Amino acid sequence: MLPHPTLKDLQTISEEYNLKVPDDTLSHLLECISQDVDDLQHLDEWQNPLDDEKHKYADRQYHRPTPQENRYNAWYHKCNIKGGQKEEKCPFLVNKRLAIKDNIFIGMVPLMNGSKIVEGFIPDFDATVVERILNHGGTILGNVTCENMCLSGGSYNTTYGPVRNPWNPDYSAGGSSSGSGVVVATGEVDMALGGDQGGSIRIPSSSCGIVGLKPTFGLVPYTGIISIIRTLDHAGPMARNVTDCARLLTAIAGFDDGKDDRQPSTGIQFTNFLEEVESAKPGILRIGVLKEGFEDCDHIVNKCVQNAVSLIKSSTKFVTVEEVSIPEHSKALIPFYFIVSCATKDQLIDGCGYGTSMSGVLTSKLSEKLYGGLKSHAHTLHLAAKKIVISSEYIKKFGGSSRYINYAKAQTWCWHIGKAYDKALETFDVLLMPTLNKLPVKIPTTDSHEDMESCFNMSKNTAPFDMTHHPAITLNAGYDEETNLPIGVQLVGRLWDDATVLKAAKLAEETLSVLQKPFNFSE
């Protein structure tokens, strides 16, 4: 219980902030602030409006899989929750099996966000995307492993061991939606949900040779999903093909009745993305091949994606396939990483998941869990996450106002870079580039500084579009002959034009089908 303040407490705060409030005025404020404390105690006693939801999920059964059930260590819990086909429109997910990333609430099924910090948390309600999946008749087979606090693009920083790539188990499956990528690739599910703040849908999708879409920011509600940074949070579909990606997006997209403040308050018009994809016609869309997207990429990646470009260009699927230069793309990672460093610490670490600038449906029990978990288990964060905390706090403590001045500058550069993409997308319908600039790395055996760098050094072409909010999809463009690892090609489109991105991806998928190997991961 928070005690009432003393005059000495208020004097200390006044001096710390150079407010120069006289003692007689502070004496008056003492009474006012004591009332604030009383009001806080009253709020603390109120029941959470969502506590009444728990009874809906009381009969849900789940279990931790055995090693025999979990060959690539992709599953956290297995369950079998069948949807009820409550959707009045045509239900899109009947007879479809789905997996849910382990930062997304499934009511009364434990999640841990890949971390000891959150382990043991049991959500009281379904995330909106989970509710919509069930309403569309989908069957949820479990939640799947993600990286520790989702702060990595690898698949080896989660608490209970690495998630292995089914194409080559010595290598990373990509992250942070590692398990989502693996169980789709292996065929254990038809589709999965992932989350994406810097590439965490597209990195594992590319690494596992599947399709993954980061939708336009706000198109898919984030209600009931653990946030990292409000302005970067995206949730989206992962599937073996573009059609199923569009199918799942149709089910989960749309306005969430004001529960998620990432969404426009005016609402979102329903789009049947599946219908859009199925009606995709060749010879209409224009592709801009982003010159800067190929810079600083591994030779094998560029060779593979350029081969895919040649196939697309020689087909009749697109009316234009030509190079475009957007110099701002090469600058995007500097403001992105500064925003991530500042905002992750302020919101996720210091702000216990939400900070104080979010509205809508938030989960006080999650904040409570994060507060206690960080006190007792912060040391279990992996080195890359610890670096974010230490770097941000150092700049805050010793940089004076530079942290906030440069945060404002970084956000303004984010807007400026987004406008550069918008300008190019006036000429082209989608931009094309390698999804990742590097192949997945070998799974390391230690948490060293070299491994820390490998968590983030593949997001050159993914992170910018989290920052600018443009829709971006990855599909497979081929394989590295030496390691057998897939290599993805990314298509990026106009804000709120996810339908065109999916149509372009469908046409590209048809062209690139000659490059695909079968998904065959039997013992």
Active site residues: 101, 176, 200
Alpha helix locations (H) across 297-428? 299-314, 333-343, 364-377, 383-398, 402-424
Provide the 3-class DSSP secondary structure of residue 211: strand
- Amino acid letter, 485: L
Q: For the residues of 417-474, what is the DSSP string, one character each?
A: HHHHHHHHTTT-SEEEEES-SSPPPBPPSS--HHHHHHTTTT-TTTHHHHHH---EEE
Q: Crossing angle, helix 242-252 and helix 128-135, to 10 degrees? A: 110
| 196 token code pair | 């994406």
Partner residues linked to 323 by β-bridges: 289
Query: Cis (ω within 30 of 0) for the bond into 176?
Result: yes
In angstroms, the CA 345 to CA 468 distance is 21
- Residue 265 identity (one-letter amino acid): S
Contact 74, 187 (CB under 8 A): no
Asked if residue 495 lies in contact with residue 216, where contact means CB atoms within 8 angstroms, the answer is yes
Question: How many other β-carbons are positioned within 10 Å of the β-carbon of residue 340?
Answer: 24
What secondary structure does DSSP assign to 335-355, as a single string?
A: HHHHHHHHHIIIIIITTTTTT
Q: Are 23 and 7 in contact (CB under 8 A)?
A: yes
Pair type for strands 191-196 and 97-101: parallel
